[in-house]
């Protein structure tokens, strides 16, 4: 599918969180609307494709709107949003991003996320979570390193399985190996890094997979499309090609029982470092 790239300006860039994100942070931030990884493996079951406010009737993966004034609007509104968060006795915490990837390939050309990180160095939030499927995060190591000195910063790298391919589905945004290597580089630099196995896909060798994560990251978060995709019983995901592909690899993987089994294995290998669901995303580990 071809992708239409457009440039746009926005009036708001910090969205006050609701629903699943409420426990995790006070604000979400999307440098782009749409996601160029919509045509990759994670895009097949991506929950955002069900949000008509984002898609406006367009196919997921067919558009990317570049928010060219994101950093300027951040600087104009961050103080107001910080006061709002502090009035509720909460840290001014930003989740970047929940409806796009901050390091889509086009970030190299437009540098919107990079400009936002620079803006955060001018007016720092209390906490920042950078969530990505991409090795492109390595292009902003300098900004991340400097931000880490002044705020509570955490990087989440999505690695949903040890399979690089599920039959019939497109390849991932980056290989499992490259994402694990990205985690290692960040960890080596002293940046707290968590692997998000969310949504949990079939895992061929769970022990080896979590041993690799244990070496590469500080923690892991596990979530399943049942309970995690914003619909009753994971009905949204059941309607996508992801469900069938998961079932064909391992029929048990489309049940919530599978999540329990995988959490148990992860906790044996990474005791005290395993989070589950939204509380895991919020930083709670067991």
The contact set with ligand SF4 (CB under 6 A) reads: 35, 37-38, 42-43, 46, 48, 100-101, 133
236 vs 267, beta carbon nearer ligand SF4: 236
Taking CB atoms within 8 Å and a gap of at least 24, the contacts of 180-185 are 180/212, 180/213, 180/216, 181/135, 181/216, 182/135, 182/137, 182/138, 182/157, 183/157, 183/213, 183/216, 183/217, 184/215, 184/216, 185/138, 185/141
Helices (H), the chain: 41-45, 52-55, 70-87, 107-110, 112-122, 141-148, 176-188, 206-216, 225-228, 235-238, 241-249, 256-269, 277-281
Whole-number Å distance between alpha carbons of 122 and 119: 5
Q: Which is nearer to ligand SF4, 20 or 123 (CB)?
A: 20
**Is 92 or 163 the residue whose CB approaches ligand SF4 more closely?**
163
Between residues 92 and 225, which has the closer beta carbon with respect to ligand SF4? 225
Closest CB 264 distance from ligand SF4, rounded Å: 26
The distance of closest approach from Cβ of residue 134 to ligand SF4 in the complex, given in angstroms and rounded to an integer, is: 7
- Based on CB atoms, which residue is closest to ligand SF4, 42 or 254? 42
> Cα(81)–Cα(178) distance, rounded to whole angstroms?
36
Which of 65, 101 has the CB closer to ligand SF4? 101
Closest CA to 221 of 280, 162, 180: 280
Q: C-beta of 28: minimal distance to ligand SF4 in Å?
A: 12
**Minimum CB separation from ligand SF4 for residue 284, in Å?**
22
Closest separation in Å from C-beta 239 to ligand SF4:
16
Q: Is 58 helix (H, G, I), strand (E, B) or coil?
A: coil
The CA distance from 44 to 29, in Å, is 22
Q: How far is the CB of 133 from ligand SF4 (least distance, A)?
A: 4
């Amino acid at each position: 599918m071809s992708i239409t790239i457009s440039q746009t300006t926005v009036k708001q860039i910090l969205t006050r969180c609701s629903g699943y994100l409420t426990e995790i942070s006070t604000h979400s931030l999307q440098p782009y609307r749409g996601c160029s990884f919509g045509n990759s493996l994670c895009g097949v079951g991506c929950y955002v494709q069900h949000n008509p406010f984002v898609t406006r009737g367009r196919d997921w993966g067919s558009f990317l709107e570049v928010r060219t004034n994101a950093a300027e609007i951040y600087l104009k509104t961050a103080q107001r949003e910080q006061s709002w968060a502090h009035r509720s006795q909460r840290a001014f915490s930003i989740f970047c991003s929940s409806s796009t990837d901050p390091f889509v390939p086009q970030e190299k050309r437009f540098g919107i996320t990079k400009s936002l990180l620079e803006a955060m160095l001018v007016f720092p939030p209390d906490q920042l979570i950078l969530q990505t499927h991409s090795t492109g995060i390595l292009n902003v190591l300098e900004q991340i390193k400097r931000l880490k000195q002044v705020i509570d910063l955490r990087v989440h790298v999505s690695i949903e399985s040890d399979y690089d391919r599920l039959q019939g589905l497109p390849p991932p945004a980056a290989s499992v190996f490259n994402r694990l290597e990205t985690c290692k580089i960040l960890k080596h630099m002293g940046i707290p890094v968590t692997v998000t196995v969310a949504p949990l896909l079939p895992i061929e060798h769970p022990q080896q997979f979590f041993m690799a994560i244990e070496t590469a990251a500080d923690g892991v978060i596990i979530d399943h499309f049942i309970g995690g995709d914003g619909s009753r019983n994971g009905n949204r995901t059941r309607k996508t090609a992801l469900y069938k592909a998961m079932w064909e690899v391992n029929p048990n993987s489309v049940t919530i029982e599978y999540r329990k089994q995988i959490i148990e294995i992860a906790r044996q290998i990474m005791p005290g470092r395993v989070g589950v669901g939204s509380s895991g995303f919020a930083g709670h580990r067991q």
